[in-house]
């Protein structure tokens, strides 16, 4: 379940991969979804593809 309509195809693939991996590792469905979404959003922020971009002093 992709939760962000701003995600491109690569973001959706990354989400699915992370979600499936977390399920295999024993996480429940909701936790897997949360981890996958947070990871994709974090990556998008680092790449400057969100309205809120990561501050440079966090690098």
| 45 φ/ψ sector (left φ>0, alpha ψ -120 to 50, else beta) | alpha
CB-based burial label for 29 (10 Å; 0-12, 13-18, 19+): exposed
Task: Give the pLDDT confidence of 13-32 residue by residue, as tens digits.
Answer: 999 999 999 999 999 999 99
What per-residue confidence (pLDDT) applies to 30?
98
Query: Which pLDDT score is estimated for 52?
Result: 74
* Cα(44)–Cα(46) distance, integer angstroms: 5
Chain segment 22-59, per-residue pLDDT in tens:
999 999 999 999 999 999 999 999 999 988 765 665 55
């Amino acid at each position: 379940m992709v939760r962000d309509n701003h995600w491109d195809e690569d973001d959706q693939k990354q989400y699915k991969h992370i979600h499936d991996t977390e399920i295999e590792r024993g996480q429940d469905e909701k936790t897997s979804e949360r981890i996958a979404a947070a990871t994709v959003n974090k990556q998008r922020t680092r790449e400057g593809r969100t309205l809120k971009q990561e501050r440079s002093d966090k690098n």
